[in-house]
Amino acid sequence: MATLQLNDIVKDFGGTQVIKGVDLEVKDREFVVFVGPSGCGKSTLMRMIAGLESTTSGEIAIDGQRVNEVGPADRGLAMVFQSYALYPHMTVEDNMGFSLRLAKVPRAERREKVLAAARILQLEPLLDRKPRALSGGQRQRVAIGRAIVRNPSIFLFDEPLSNLDAALRVQMRIELARLHEELDATMIYVTHDQIEAMTMADKIVVLQDGVVEQIGSPMELYHHPRNRFVAGFIGSPKMNFLEVEVRGADAEGVDVALPGGDCRVPVAGDGVSAGDTLTLGIRPEHLVLDEAGPLTGRIQVIERLGGVTSLYLEHGDSEWILVADGNVAHRVHDEVRFTFDPACAHLFTAEGLALAHLTRHPLADIDRKENRASFA
């Protein structure tokens, strides 16, 4: 079992910094997800942890031991690649047992360990096949099996589900979460899919342009985004943003002008004064259709998903996305009125930083263990 510390690590590729000083503490048995748009450096960061990329400056420590100079073979990690990277000339059994063969583990013991991992992943009937005779989902399982057999201190997953079709991805996501329960190991997972991040992580690390934007539990990121980027990145559909003018502000809240009248958002208003321009953020699922609501919009597009309906609204030059229940009877071009609970709204400064909410969301600090306890 293992912990990982990143201390101000930097990666410089011939003059361009792709990782610009990342600090991170991964606790034992934690499931940490790196998430961010393409090119944000999340895969590079993982490859640095694995030892596949050198670290320009800063320190990487596993279990408190500096490993910067330790090669990938000796860091005791296992990695599942986006491409699976199965050895095409070896059978599934040989693929899974390769690390043991390198470690000169006797054949019988090797077989036993491979079988144990194959049992967890239901791979037993496939052990004699070559990778090319497997489906995408099966290859994925073999890649995970190979990692399990290695019995690593930390599991690394580099976008492991991105080559699977949607249905399989959901299935594998659940399987991975279950695997984490079963193996109870430290896992680091890279993805650009925020649903994967939200559903599996104990802790999400949001990256953009080689910088950590925020680290926190999924619910913390959802309810208390530190800045506009995180607010827009986490949550689907995306959060609505609207430029608003401040009417007045104090430590107890900020009054802002909305098209249908003023509204008091309960965030710390220190340093904000009347006349300032802020950005109001409100999630589509927090907008509520209301005949008497202060806001109006004309429906541009309706997406009916059955359980929920997404309405794409236009008002003047502002656009809103509103998620309503599945039984909304409105049609395209209807004019609707809507409102929201100011406690759910966020305010961002011109620099994109969020003003702190006065009360913390009750679920913001829940961790996986508590999640699990609620099922018991």
Partner 1 sequence: MTASKRWLPLTFKIALLTLLLLWTLIPIIWMVLSSFKPNTIITADTPQVFFTPTLEHYVSLFSSGNSLWPYLLNSLFIAGTSTLIAVVLGCMAGFGLSRIRIKGKQHLAFWIISTRMAPIAAVIVPLYLLFRYLYLLDTHAGLIVAYLSFNLPFAIWLMTAFFDDLPPDLEEAAMIDGATKFQAFRHVVLPLMTPGLVTTAILCFIFAWNDYAFAQTFSGPSTQTIPIAAAQLLTQTGIDWGKLLAIGTIVVCPMAIAGLLVKRWLVQGLTLGAVK
* Residues 80/144, Cβ–Cβ less than 8 Å: yes
Residue (70 or 288) nearer to partner 1, CB: 70
Nearest CA to 22 out of 193, 32, 224 is that of 32
Strand partners, 203: 32
Stretch of residues binding partner 1 (CB under 8 A), selected from 49-57, 111-119, 206-214, 283-291: 49-57
Kindly tell me which residue out of 73, 174, 257, 301 binds partner 1, with binding defined by CB under 8 A.
73
> Helix, strand or coil for residue 236?
coil
Kindly tell me which residue out of 55, 99, 191, 208 binds partner 1, with binding defined by CB under 8 A.
99
Kindly tell me which residue out of 3, 25, 39, 52 binds partner 1, with binding defined by CB under 8 A.
52
Tell me the closest approach of the beta carbon of residue 46 to partner 1, in angstroms: 11
* Residues 22/8, Cβ–Cβ less than 8 Å: yes
Tell me the closest approach of the beta carbon of residue 210 to partner 1, in angstroms: 19
What does the per-residue mask of binding to partner 1 show for 120-139, with x meaning CB under 8 A? ----------xxxxx-x--x
Tell me the closest approach of the beta carbon of residue 111 to partner 1, in angstroms: 17
Nearest CA to 307 out of 320, 322, 321, 323 is that of 323
Burial status of residue 177 (CB atoms within 10 A of its CB: 0-12, 13-18, 19 or more)? middle
Tell me the closest approach of the beta carbon of residue 44 to partner 1, in angstroms: 13
What does the per-residue mask of binding to partner 1 show for 152-191, with x meaning CB under 8 A? -----------x----------------------------
The sign one gets for the Cα dihedral 195, 198, 202, 206 is: positive
Distances (CA, A) of 365 to 223, 312, 348: 10, 32, 22
Residues at the contact surface with partner 1, assessed by CB under 8 A? 14, 50-52, 71-74, 77-79, 81, 83-89, 98-99, 102-103, 130-134, 136, 139, 146, 150, 163
